[in-house]
Chains A and B, each alone.
Chain A
């Protein structure tokens, strides 16, 4: 039934193989008014088949830009990929023809956007919007697509009787389920989830996250989970990349990031959380603000806010270094930082 994408022929990946490889990706936004904003700087990441990788960071860190670059959906101009490659199943996505890329979007890789209320077409029924994706990618009749769309609705917990209703007739949580149903309609191998639950209430968020976990294990989808919430990371991800000012500053599995924290910024994120304050009645925020991407410091990007910064940090930028297998850190002082932390604990 499914017209398998011609782009990848019979590429078969085993669990544990790299599905996606981002190599040295840099993205700039170039505008006459603000100059060159360096949104993403030399990011190297890989995502294995069946794995969930979290991208965590604050507003403006470049998380969404990374996701949009994977799908080649950057607004250009002003956005421009200035260096690097993105390989999916071993093929460089930026070398594909436009037509082939259209086959990949929604079929191989799909995306859930942050704000569900603006992600759907308000003048089309939700059922039509799901079956449209199915018709675009599968060789099937309208009637077949409708049945399949109804199946998808039921899978995300919405009765198929509501096929002919419009987006405004649903609540935010239900709309987000529809958006997820659209994203999963063609069983993509990779799902880019950009803050999928940020606009939702916590009890609805819990429903959506539980559902995503269930679908993930059922369909074997790999997920790139973009969030600012370390709680969601703890609940959903296998590995985490902490992004700061367009760079990966720390990368590792959950144990590395949560228990063997090695970058002062990651530690700062944890210390800022009210629930980690425990009995102490004061939070320990990171001082200052993220640097302006149009005017990044030459040395370590976190240098100005870092309590451990030395002269070296302000002069040259540290490289991402592997400190234990699979745990990478971009910091000159990670070893003394970790020693000090161990003493405190």
Chain B
């Protein structure tokens, strides 16, 4: 903990009012990321992982909590400050089929951030667009192509180029490879890693794919219904999964290995609604170990092993920890 983290999030909440009540999309989440590292945020649909990424970037205003970026409180910023901030904080979206303007050519799409945020001259813009195209692996011949003429992998490279052209220091990657086939996915993951190493980028990598998150992350945070249930370094988490939900989630992934014994930890039912959640542990209704206390009292994350945080009342007892 010598260095100051690039991003620190404290007790972040994001609620959405809907007709049926209030959706607790992100509920009291705290974490820090060191420069050049990747925090993987993993969970199932509706767990609030994308909302978390967007709230950190101010694409949505937070309901409560604090966000510190490079030591500065950016929870409430003016419009001018926000514009400056956006140069440093960027996002790569999930679906390269819907996140690009179909009427903009590849060149226009990549140049757009420069036109909006800088007063660079056309010559400089051109140089920077061609530079970044080389970095993300887009051949020059595509410079005038439109999104519909390109495959998913190339479109996602455009998304990455758009995010990187302002030279950000921090990027939220929201399921950037989920829409891609495995062979293309591997190309993009390698690219994102190379760029990270070269530019000392910091990533929040949001995904539902556990093998991808294991591959790309330094630390992993598991979310369930808006809350963090477990957080640890990647190796630690895959070695010692402590929360009952993490165990079930990891056991549910079909492994491409015919020797490993297939044993799913079956969860009862499905994810419950994040609208007006009842007090108590959000996972209790599906948890095989839930006791009366779990339905009454929401567990607070505790450090049960070094740098390994778990929010579960019974974590020590169930895992034989002191």
Contacts and interface: CB of A to CB of B under 8 A. Distances in A.
Interface of A: 58-59, 171-174, 201-207, 209-210, 228-235, 254-255, 258-259, 268-277, 281-287, 289
B70 interface: no
Contacts of A275: 211, 214-215, 255-256
B128 interface: no
Contacts of A231: 253-256
Given A59-B152, A274-B216, 7 more contacts: A201-B44, A203-B44, A206-B252, A234-B258, A269-B182, A272-B182, A272-B183
A93 B252 CA distance: 38
Contacts of A201: 44-45, 208, 271
A203 B267 contact: yes
A310 to B, nearest CB: 22
17 contacts: A59-B181, A172-B45, A207-B267, A231-B255, A231-B256, A232-B254, A258-B256, A268-B183, A269-B183, A271-B186, A272-B185, A272-B186, A275-B211, A282-B190, A282-B193, A285-B185, A285-B190
Given A203-B267, A273-B182, A285-B190, A254 B253 contact: no
A235 B262 contact: yes
Contacts of B266: 206-207, 210
A274 B193 CA distance: 13
B285 interface: no
Given A202-B208, A202-B252, A234 B257 contact: yes
Contacts of B181: 58-59, 228
B153 interface: yes
Contact of B270 (A204, A235, A272): A204
Nearest to B182: A272
Select the residue from B152, B253, B258 with max chain A CB neighbours within 10 A: B258
Contact of A259 (B189, B258, B270): B258
A280 to B, nearest CB: 10
B185 A289 contact: no
A268 B181 CA distance: 12
Nearest to B216: A274
Interface in B202-234: 208, 210-212, 214-216
B223 to A, nearest CB: 13
What are the 9 closest A-B residue pairs judged by CB atoms, nearest first?
A231-B254, A285-B186, A274-B215, A230-B256, A206-B252, A272-B186, A201-B44, A275-B211, A58-B181
